Amino acid sequence: MTSNRSSWLILGAGPSGLANARVLKKLSIPFDLVEKSGFSGGIWDHRRKDTPIYSTTHFISSKTMSTFQDFPMPEDYPDYPSHEQILAYIRNFSAANGLESAIRFNTEVTDLAPLPGGGWNATFDHGEQREYQGVIVANGRNWYPNWPDYTGSFSGEIIHSKDYQGPDQLKGKRVLIVGGGNSACDIACDAAMTAEQTWISMRRGYHFIPKHVFGIPSDVFANQGPHLPLWLERPVFRFLLNKLLIGDLRRYGLPKPDHPLFASHPIMNTRILHHLSHGDLQYLPDIKVLDGSRVHFSNGQSIEPDLIIYATGYNQVFPFLRSEVFSWNPDQPDLFLNIFSRQYANLLFAGFVEADGAAFPLISLQADLIGAYLSQQIKDPVRWQKFRDRCESERPDLSGGIKHLPTARHAYYTQSHLYAKVLKKEFRRLDSNV
């Protein structure tokens, strides 16, 4: 067994792991950064067999609002970069901060166990064990498919969106996409242009937000000027969507949204309305039963698809943390600020955030706060302990006053402006210069 009790272990060389490695390097805090694949970039590396990225994937937030701190995207990138461009951007970020050489590739952590005195013992897939001062978990959120459970069975082909690679899989097939998120809508648009026939099944009505408003990326438009309070922001954007930009969704055969605007993750796709209005895509409600080659729906309709694609999201899984060490309830995740374990002072989670805005800026702010937390543990134990006491007891509301849909994804959902403000405030409270 090797002892690295003065070092931190970072799990994953995706955006979150790299952002934290950058901060720890800047603060001269020793760390090991391990990545189970042979490449950096996390899910954005399309060569990985286990990535959920498909060939037509683009960012749903704009390049302007989606950057790491102090590292803008290239000016020649389009408003909504492709997955190849995002991967290049992430790797340029890693190279610019001298992180690539620090990554131990093809190294998977299979078990983490707490040690007396607060450290952690890490077991790796090749049998090696190492001791660390602490662990930053940055293993990502989109690796383990959530499979729905419907009555009956289907005799045709079923895949999860994680196994969808691109439109070539759809040629000549009758395709049913199940889900109402951004991936479901993207795949439905691919199928509308490629498959023999396409349906999309959604269990509820959703709000659809265009990627551009008056020629400006939607998130840039929303962030121009002062941030509006919810009581004003919601009716303003509802007016824009319902009266100027989208109109009544029932005209496209879709149901009226069953929840207020902002109560669910934004669907940044209006191409789906184009295909619905042209008859290349048909809406169906929730599945009632699978019956051999046929699928029956809650409205009494039935179809006979060749392929069902479940775009039904992902489960957050930590396969290296035993349940007796870290009990995870997806319906009530219990981390302080979505980062700090309440039980273990040196077990932190990076990139664990669902928000109504871009992830990379929030990831950067999380990394800054984690860096301050690690530094103050040594430099100012009294200040650190005060923060640690709050980690164990406080449960701030990060929803921004929005009552989100009661789903696992929304159980830890944050309002981006509020979350960024809170992270900056907590950083200032920990920083020794304040």
Q: What is the pLDDT of residues 30-55, one digit of tens each?
A: 999 999 999 999 999 888 888 999 99
Indicate the domain borders of the chain: 2-144+316-430, 147-208+246-310
Q: Which residues contact 275 (CB under 8 A, 6 or more apart)?
A: 188, 189, 192, 193, 198, 281
Helix (H) or strand (E) holding 303: strand 302-303
Per-residue pLDDT 10s for the chain (434 aa) are: 555 577 999 999 999 999 999 999 999 999 999 999 999 999 998 888 889 999 999 999 999 999 999 999 999 999 999 999 999 999 999 999 999 999 999 999 999 999 998 899 999 999 999 999 999 999 998 889 999 999 999 999 999 999 999 999 999 999 999 999 999 999 999 999 999 999 999 999 999 989 998 899 988 888 876 676 665 567 777 777 777 778 888 999 999 988 887 778 878 999 999 999 999 999 999 999 999 999 999 999 999 999 999 999 998 889 999 988 888 776 677 899 999 999 999 999 999 988 888 999 999 999 999 999 999 999 999 999 999 999 999 999 888 887 877 777 777 788 889 999 999 999 999 985 54
pLDDT, tens digit (0-9, with 9 covering 90-100), for 309-362: 999 999 888 999 998 888 877 667 789 999 999 999 999 999 998 888 899 999
Apex 35 CA angle, 34 and 39, nearest 5: 135
* pLDDT for 66: 95
* pLDDT for 433: 55
Strand partners, 287: 297
* pLDDT for 410: 74
* pLDDT for 225: 66
pTM of the model: 0.93
pLDDT, tens digit (0-9, with 9 covering 90-100), for 139-148: 998 889 999 9
Asked if 2-144+316-430 and 147-208+246-310 have one fold, the answer is yes
Rounded CA separation 276/273 (Å) = 5
Strand partners, 295: 290, 303
* pLDDT for 226: 65
* pLDDT for 39: 92
* Two structure tokens written together for 123: 């077991």
Which alpha helices (H) appear in 171-313, and where do they start and end?
Answer: 182-194, 218-223, 230-239, 271-277
Three-state DSSP state, 393: helix
Rounded CA separation 224/343 (Å) = 41
b/e map 243-254, b = 16+ CB within 10 Å: eebbeebeebeb
Domain 2-144+316-430 classification at class level: alpha beta
* pLDDT for 2: 55
* pLDDT for 434: 47
CATH for the stretch 147-208+246-310? 3.50.50.60
Rounded CA separation 220/222 (Å) = 5
Rounded CA separation 74/224 (Å) = 21
Rounded CA separation 68/94 (Å) = 11
Cβ atoms of residues 190 and 182 within 8 Å: no
Cβ atoms of residues 207 and 257 within 8 Å: yes
Apex 408 CA angle, 263 and 83, nearest 5: 80
Across the chain, how many H-helices and E-strands are there? 9, 24
Give 92's Cβ-side CA count (13 Å radius). Answer: 13
* pLDDT for 419: 94
User: Residue 291 to residues 152, 155, 180, 303: CA-CA distances in angstroms?
Assistant: 6, 8, 23, 10
